[in-house]
């Protein structure tokens, strides 16, 4: 488990349902007593009483657009969030990541569980890059049935995107190299920004690479790296070495199997290389044998007949088993394949 850092008061807006500073309530707590959790329909993100309170605050949940171990992502409409030049409210649509703390309690202290849920928010607040998802706002909902209100949900609002790289792979199958080149360039720029800032992502995969319409050109897409729940910030005075073995199974770097310190930035490169190979081969993760064959092909250095020699060279250097020989992000961005001038279809976005 990651050690807790010293608490810094989070500058997040309180709702009528809870206090401003969680640490005030949880600093002296031990463990959460067991309780029976209410079950609500999967067609709504929260129990109806909480939804009614949020509607009064101008927050409406429209449609669920994603689900994971953390909880769910919903398309939401906020009517009391942003104002125009005349100081009138302007409706805005955002994505809302609904994280429930009940999956984080177990044997951990409440304070540790709160920190783990809010780690992503704390990281996102520090980041500003065109290819990293933009954080907007946090709302917290509390259970008022106890002497001390327990935080049950954290609602993190972020910019809304159209889908993930997984969606795109399913739609087009094996991705063409020009399109793969385009998304890889954008994600690599985001990853360079993170690594230069001392941040390792730890969970790069197609599900965490989102796309939306480019603001200056509707025929192009803008790619966004998301989900910083496993990310870690390293001190600028020390190398990014860690013993954390976290991430998604198929994209884990081989050195994570060893209980020794490893370069966190190089594990990000491996995961990105696996994602590139998946997009160019068109493997569906719902067919595990096919994905296992993809991993074996990469590790055995077997040539991909469907990928150009330059593309294969980049994938091999990003997924080298020896982390010391693996590319860093600067070498990825300098590679000939990623910098070659390629044809991008004029109606790119219509392919999605």
Digit-by-digit pLDDT tens for the chain (352 residues) are: 344 333 333 333 333 333 344 444 443 333 444 343 445 666 788 888 888 888 988 999 999 988 876 778 999 999 988 888 888 888 999 999 888 766 555 545 556 666 666 777 888 888 889 999 998 888 877 766 655 556 677 888 999 998 899 888 888 878 888 889 989 999 999 999 999 999 999 999 999 999 887 666 656 778 999 988 888 888 777 777 776 767 777 888 888 877 788 889 999 999 999 999 999 988 766 666 677 788 788 777 887 888 899 999 999 999 998 999 999 999 999 999 998 756 555 444 444 4
Q: pLDDT at position 328, please?
A: 95
For the stretch 35-67, pLDDT in tens is 434 456 667 888 888 888 889 889 999 999 888
Q: pLDDT at position 144, please?
A: 61
Domain with CATH 3.30.200.20 in the chain: 22-158
For the stretch 168-212, pLDDT in tens is 888 887 888 888 998 999 999 999 999 999 999 999 999 999 988
Q: pLDDT at position 270, please?
A: 94
Q: pLDDT at position 139, please?
A: 81
Domain with CATH 1.10.510.10 in the chain: 163-351
Q: pLDDT at position 18, please?
A: 35
SS in 3 state form for the chain? CCCCCCCCCCCCCCCCCCCCCHHHHHCCCCECCCCCCCCCCCCCCCCHHHHHHHHHCCEEEEEEEEEECCEEEEEEEEEEEEECCCCCEEEEEEEEEEEEHHHCCCCCEHHHHHHHHHHHHHHHCCCCCCCECCEEEEEEEEECCCCCCEEEEEEEEECCCCEEHHHHHHHHCCCCHHHHHHHHHHHHHHHHHHHHCCEECCCCCHHHEEEEECCCCCCCEEEEECCCCCCEECCCCCCCEECCCCCCHHHCCHHHHCCCCEEHHHHHHHHHHHHHHHHHHCCCCCCHHHHHHHHHHHHCCCCCCCCCHHHHHHHHHHCCCCCCCCCCHHHHHHCHHHHCCCCCCCCHHHHC
Q: pLDDT at position 150, please?
A: 61
Q: pLDDT at position 149, please?
A: 57
Q: pLDDT at position 93, please?
A: 93
Q: pLDDT at position 326, please?
A: 94
Q: pLDDT at position 320, please?
A: 92
Superfamily of domain 163-351: Transferase(Phosphotransferase) domain 1 (1.10.510.10)
For domain 22-158, the CATH architecture is: 2-Layer Sandwich (3.30)
């Amino acid at each position: 488990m990651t050690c807790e850092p010293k608490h810094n008061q989070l500058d997040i807006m309180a709702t009528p349902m809870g206090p401003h500073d969680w640490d005030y309530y949880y600093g002296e707590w031990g463990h959460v007593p067991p309780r029976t959790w209410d079950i609500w329909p999967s067609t709504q993100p929260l129990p109806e009483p909480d939804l009614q309170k949020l509607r009064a605050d101008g927050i409406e949940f429209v449609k669920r657009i994603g689900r994971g171990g953390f909880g769910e992502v919903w398309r939401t409409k906020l009517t009391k969030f942003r104002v125009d030049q005349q100081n009138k409210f302007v409706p805005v649509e955002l994505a809302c990541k609904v994280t429930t703390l009940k999956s984080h309690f177990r044997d951990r202290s409440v304070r540790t569980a709160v920190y783990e849920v809010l780690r992503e928010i704390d990281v996102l607040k520090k980041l500003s890059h065109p290819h990293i998802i933009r954080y907007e706002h946090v709302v917290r909902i509390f259970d008022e049935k106890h002497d001390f209100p327990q935080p049950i949900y954290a609602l993190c609002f972020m910019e809304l995107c159209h889908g993930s790289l997984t969606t795109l792979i399913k739609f087009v199958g094996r991705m063409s190299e020009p399109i793969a080149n385009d998304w890889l360039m954008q994600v690599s720029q985001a990853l360079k920004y993170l690594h230069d800032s001392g941040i390792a992502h730890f969970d790069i995969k197609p599900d965490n690479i989102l796309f939306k319409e480019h603001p200056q050109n509707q025929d192009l897409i803008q790619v966004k790296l998301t989900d910083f729940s496993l990310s870690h910030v390293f001190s600028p005075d020390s190398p990014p070495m860690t013993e954390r073995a976290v991430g998604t199974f198929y994209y884990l770097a081989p050195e994570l199997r060893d209980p020794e310190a490893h370069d966190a930035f190089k594990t990000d490169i491996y995961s990105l290389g696996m994602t590139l190979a998946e997009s160019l081969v068109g493997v569906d993760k719902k067919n595990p044998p096919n994905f296992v064959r993809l991993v074996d092909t990469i590790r055995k250095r077997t040539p991909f007949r469907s990928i150009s020699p330059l593309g294969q060279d980049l994938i091999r250097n990003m997924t080298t088993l020896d982390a010391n020989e693996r590319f860093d992000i600067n070498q990825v961005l300098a590679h000939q394949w990623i910098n070659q001038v390629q044809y991008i279809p004029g109606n790119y976005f219509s392919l999605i």
